[in-house]
Structures are given as C-alpha cells and as structure tokens.
Structure 1
Amino acid sequence: MKAHKNFRALAGLAGMALALSAQAAKAEDAAPAAPKEFTVTGSVSVLSDYRLRGVSQTDRGKTLQAGVTVTHKSGFYGSVFSSNLAGWGTFGGPNLEFDLIGGYAKAVGPVTIDAGLTWYMYPDGAAKTDFAEPYIKVSGAVGPVSYLAGVAYAPKQKALGNYSNTTYSYGQAYDNLYLWGDTSYVIPSTKLKLKGHLGYSKGNPGLGPNGTSVAPTGSYFDWQVGGEYPVGPFTFGVSWVDTDITAAKSAYLQPNFSVQNGRLKGASIAGSTALFSATVSF
C-alpha cells in the first residue's frame, strides 16, 4: 500500500515536471529572437528627377539611385549611396555621385538621436570636389504623425569655396549649413503615407568647381509635399518640389543654373516640378 502511494506521488511529480517543461518550451518559443549582430538593408529607385535640397542634379531628367546600409546591433551603421548626374552638379569623369555615410543611432526616451557624417564623392571628377558634412537628426512620433528634425553642417573646405575660371584656381574655403524637418502620416485603414519636407540652406553664394555650389544663391528654402503607396515589393511616390530661388536671385549663375538639354532647355533647375518615384527595398 505504501509502495502504491509512493508510486502515485512520483507519478504526480513527473506530471508536474512535464507540465512545467512544456510551459517553459512554449515561453521560449514565444520569446522574441535575439537581435542579429548585423542587419543589411537597401533600396534601388528610379526617379523622374534627382533633387538635392530642391535643386536638380540631373538636368531635370531621370535618375537611377541605389543605397545599402549595414547596421550593428549596438546602433552603429555604415551606408553607401550612388546616383547618376547631369548638368548642374557634374564634375566630369563618369558624372556620378558616390556617398559614404557612417553614424550612430540610439533611442533616448520617446525619440531617436542619430549622429554621423556624409562624405560626398564625385569619382574621377575635377579636383577639390569631394567634401565632408557631419549631421545630427532627432526623430520620433506623436500619435499617428512621425517627425524628424535635422542639422547638417559642413565645416570650411575648399570644395565649397569659390573657383576662378580665369586663373583655374580655388579661393578660400567655405562652410555650409542645412536645416530641415520632415513629417509623415499614414491615413488610417490605408497604406497611403502623406509626407512633407521643409529645408533651409546657407553657404557659398559664389561658384565652385564647374560653376556649381551646394547653396547656389547663398541662402534659400526648399520644400516638398506628396505621398507614397506600397504595392508588393515596390513603393510608388509622387510629390511636388519647389524652392524660393527666383530668376533674379540666380541670374549670376546662368547659364549653369538652367536646363542644358531637352524640351525644358533654358528652364530653372530649381523651379517647381512634380516628382515621381518607384522604389524596391530589401
């Protein structure tokens, strides 16, 4: 009789152990996977125009762009970005922009702080065209609205200074400041995202290599409003882009500041336009 009771007690303990083991296994399966050491993301886009801070870098023509970002679980990341160029902003060679970006992003309470540096390169282009630009961004969300505010400041560099076509020499180094804010809102029960952007540039009002400048008229505003919609692996976007750079403000930049070829020849490269895009991300 005693042995029978002991057997029942052992059976009960075994049953409890099996139940606890099953619960532990279930909890382990439900637990989120540990973050990967590195994550890789990227995208390839086709756009009707490449607007850098409101100014066309492709002579108001189409562009193909690609980028890849590698992020460590600590928050450090590195990116590369590339785009074709035409007209204003080209420096000879293959007429390509190739950017190297490195930074660190960390969540601090309800916001994410992101600080880094972009190195703008123009492979095989004219001398003194590459420049470095540190930046800091703060992003977050208030209800359904996401926001981002950023400051990019390029310290004094000869690539941002004046260039003399008569002596083929570079003048003093110059700096450049860009302030911007972005916001977005996804319409409830849809996938449609509305987006807005406002930026302010202040820098060299003269002409750099090949008659270009990061802040063409010294200081100006640019803005963009539009939306995007995902369809399968693609995201399609349309927006309206403009600046407050008038014909009078850009008169001393001509003919460089006008479209050089095609049906829009002679039009401002900072004028308002509808911008269309198709992006596939991975």
Structure 2
Amino acid sequence: MKKALVSSVMASAALISYDSQAVTLSDDFELIANIGAYSEYAMRGISYSQRNPVAQGYLTVAHKSGLYAGMWGSNVDIAGVDANYEADYYAGYIWQPTEDISLDVGYIKYTYPKTSAMNISETYAVLTAYGFKVGSYYSNDYLGDQTTTYNYVGYGFNLPLESKLDVRYGILDLKDPAFISSSGNTKDSYHEWEVKLSKTAFQVDWAVSYIDTNLSETECYSFMGDKESCSARVLLGVSKTF
C-alpha cells in the first residue's frame, strides 16, 4: 500500500518518489514525509510560480486499511494574485488487491490563505494497473462557480540503472470559456503532457521533466496573466522522502 500511496497521493503535484521509507507510528499507522526543491511549480502543464524555483513538501498519515490523510504545501507566484503560498489538504482511500493494481479515491482542498477566492475542492479517482494509470478529478467551485474536470492517462516503466520513465497526457475542461486567443476566439479546455525521467541516487530522488500544453501565449496570458507559463519547458526537481 505504501508504494501505491506515494505514487498516487497528490498526483497533480511534482512527486518523484516511488519507494519511500515511512516512519512507523504504531502497528496500524505510518507517517510519510517529503520535502523537495523544484525549478518551478507546474500544475497540469501550467506554471504556478511564473517559472521560478519553489520548495514543496507533504505529510501523510496512512492506516494499514488503506485510509490516508495529509497536507501538501508550496510557495506560489501567480500574476495578479496576492498569494505567496498554497496549502492543500487531502484524504482518501487506496484499495490495492495486488502489487500491480490499485484504486485511489479521495478529496483535495486547495487553499491560498491570502486569496480565499482561489480556494477550490476536488474529488478524484486514480486507477493504476501494470504501469498504466487513468485518473479523473472533478470540481464544482473553481473560481467561485465554474465546474471543471481533469482527466489523464499515463504509463510508467523502469529503465536501466534503476531509473524510471513516466509519460502523461491530460485534458482540463471548464464549464465556461476561459481561454481567449489573439483573434478573440474562446475555448473552455486545453491539453497538456509531460515526460518525466526519475532516479534515486545518494539517498535522494532526482527528476527531470519535459512539460507542454496546446495553449498559445495569448490564451495563456488571458488565463494566467503570464504568456510563458503554458509554453514548453524543462522542470528539474530533487526531493527526499522519509
């Protein structure tokens, strides 16, 4: 269950560890903690730090039944938003009938303490089977009254030298149009993708990702106030999981 938990919890964030050493609290509970430094905070293909470096971390308490709860945090830098950091709270359940199959269902509350209007909540379900992953996230309070769905498919496999390659393709769909092109056309969804290479060395986890979306600079600016936060780029990360 521990392996499924670390790879599933906060799948939208830049977690790069897959085989952690949890802290045993009792016969029934364990604590998983992570802290890391990244070249930016990327959320579903879009930079939430205007491509600037961030520190991130999480704490998760897990029960042997598969229940878990925890919190995740990162500093942020969003154009036009008076928020210095994001604090997320989550709870869920992982059903893992075999080592290769797991189903993770749960709830996340995203909070921006200085800008409560950006606070949103999501429910999610992530199915992992033999390296393949299918996930779905739903919110009905995005920016106050927008409903959103985020669906993705992914695959991860081991490479030589104890490294791992993960690929993901996702689609975020909003109820109302939120992306405006240079010609004035609008759309209510975008596509994003990521290819990530990760490896554990010197007792820490290292990762490099290629990230991109199908949003133009103008569409990105209309949504994020920054025309470069949705463009193709490379993300670097190093973290330690306890």
Q: Same fold (TM over 0.5)?
A: yes
Choose from 4, 23, 39 the match for 2:30: 39
Structure 1: any 5+ residue segments left out of the alignment? 1-34, 162-172, 208-215, 259-267
User: Would you say 1:278 and 2:235 are equivalent positions?
Assistant: no
Percent same amino acid among aligned pairs?
23
The match for 2:226 is 257
**1:212 alignment partner in structure 2:** none
Q: Residues 236 and 38 from structure 1, CA distance in 2 versus in 1: closer, same or farther, beyond 3 angstroms? A: same
Cα–Cα, structure 1 residues 242 and 100, in superposed 2: closer, same or farther, change >3 Å?
same
- Contact conserved, 2:56 with 2:74, CA < 8 A, in 1? yes
Residue aligned with 2:51, SS? coil
Higher Cα Rg, which structure: 1
Which residues of 2 match residues 114-193 of structure 1 at below 5 A?
114-125=104-115, 127-141=116-130, 146-155=131-140, 157=141, 159-161=142-144, 173-188=145-160, 190-193=161-164
The one-character-per-residue Cα deviations of 1:192-224 (angstroms, maximum 9, x if unpaired) are 1111111110014339xxxxxxxx952011111
Residue pairs, 1:105-120, within 5 angstroms: 105-108=94-97, 111-120=101-110
Aligned-residue CA RMSD (Å): 2.1
Alignment partner of 1:194 out of 136, 153, 165 = 165
Q: How far apart in 2 are the matches of 1:174 and 1:87? A: 19
Q: Which has the higher strand share?
A: 2
Point out which structure has higher relative CO (alpha carbons under 8 A, 6+ apart): 2
Counterparts of 2:117 and 2:95 in 1: how far apart (Å)? 34
Cα distance, 1:136–1:84 mapped onto 2, change above 3 Å: same
**Residue number in structure 1 paired with 2:203:** 233
Residue 252 of structure 1: CA displacement? 4.0
* Whole-angstrom CA distance in 1 between matches of 2:82 and 2:143: 17
How many residue pairs are counted as aligned between the two chains? 209
Contact 2:194 2:212 survives alignment (8 Å): yes
Range that drifts further, 271-280 or 242-251? 242-251
Could you say what secondary structure the match of 2:219 adopts?
coil
SS at match of 1:87: coil
- In 1, Cα distance between equivalents of 2:39 and 2:221: 26
Pairing of 1:13-92 with structure 2 (within 5 A)? 36-88=27-79, 91-92=81-82
Tell me the distance in 1 between the aligned counterparts of 2:223 and 2:96: 43
Quote the offset at 1:253 in angstroms: 4.3
Q: What is the distance in 1 between the residues matched to 2:216 and 2:63?
A: 44
CA distance in 2, matches of 1:51, 1:235: 18
TM-score, normalising length: structure 1: 0.69
The alpha-carbon distance between structure 1 residues 124 and 82, as it changes in their structure 2 partners (threshold 3 A), is same
